[in-house]
Every structure is written in structure tokens, then in C-alpha cells.
């Protein structure tokens, strides 16, 4: 390549980089609007996971996160020690040390019992979105 060709390629690359940055910023803004709308449709007990339009629908997936320390502190006096032990996966050392983690299946079993235990678990449970999926809806005539 001669210098003019190098300049043309580098200029094109610079233009594309600026466009990509602008698109990424716009994408983040639109994603923020989607999350804002989902959050506005949520409550403390009902976390909105879908937005449905005429042509598109958006689905938010989620996972629950409970801090082991929060769990112990909030439920220590409310549940039996063996139930506590059932809900907490003990940390283990492999090559690196893995911290204690909550076993959500066991916690869900406690939640089904209801009462003060369920209320305490709800208070310390954090819901985190781990993605949004957007798809065009299928119409009746197949388009």
C-alpha cells in the first residue's frame, strides 16, 4: 500500500470506530429504557420479565442472589441450625478458595413454608437480570 491507500484505510477505520462508539452508546440508552420500563412494571413481590408490543416482545431472564452473611443474619433465629446448614453450600478449597454459597433449591423449600422465614428471605433476596432476549413475533399469516 502506498501512503494514500494507508490514509484511506486508516480514515475508514477511524470513521467506523466513531460510528461503532455512537451505536454502542445508543444501544446502551435503548437497553436502559427497556430495563426502566421493566422495572416500572415490577413491584417488591412481582418482578416484570416481559414487554409485549404489537410486533416484538422482550423477555428478561433473572437469577436470585442471596448473600450468605445476610442469610445467616436475617434467619439465624428463625430457622433450625440443620435447615441453615442445608441452605448454605460450604466453601471449598480446590486450587482457589470458593466462598460459601446459598443453595437456592433448599431456600425455595423454606420459602414454601411461608411465614416470617419467607418474609426474611424476601427481604434479603436480590434479583439480578442476566440478559434480555428480543424477538419479532410471528404473525398469523406467517410473516
**How far apart, in whole angstroms, are the C-alpha atoms of residue 102 and residue 89?**
6
By three-state DSSP, how is residue 56 classified?
A: strand
Q: Could you read off the pLDDT of 58-97 as tens digits, one per residue?
A: 998 878 889 999 999 999 888 998 999 999 988 887 788 8
Using the 8-state DSSP alphabet, how is residue 99 labeled?
A: P
Q: How many CB atoms lie within 10 A of CB 60?
A: 20
| Total-model pTM | 0.53
Amino acid at each position: 500500500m502506498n501512503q494514500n491507500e494507508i490514509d484511506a484505510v486508516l480514515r475508514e477505520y477511524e470513521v467506523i470506530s466513531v460510528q461503532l462508539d455512537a451505536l454502542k452508546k445508543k444501544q446502551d440508552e435503548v437497553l436502559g429504557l427497556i430495563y426502566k420500563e421493566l422495572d416500572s412494571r415490577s413491584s417488591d413481590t412481582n418482578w416484570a420479565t416481559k414487554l409485549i408490543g404489537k410486533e416484538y416482545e422482550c423477555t428478561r431472564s433473572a437469577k436470585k442472589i442471596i448473600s450468605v452473611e445476610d442469610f445467616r443474619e436475617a434467619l439465624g433465629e428463625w430457622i433450625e441450625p440443620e435447615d441453615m446448614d442445608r441452605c448454605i453450600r460450604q466453601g471449598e478449597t480446590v486450587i482457589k478458595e470458593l466462598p460459601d454459597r446459598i443453595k437456592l433449591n433448599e431456600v425455595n423449600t423454606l420459602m414454601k413454608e411461608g411465614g416470617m422465614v419467607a418474609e426474611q428471605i424476601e427481604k434479603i433476596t436480590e434479583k439480578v437480570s442476566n440478559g434480555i432476549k428480543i424477538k419479532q413475533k410471528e404473525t398469523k399469516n406467517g410473516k
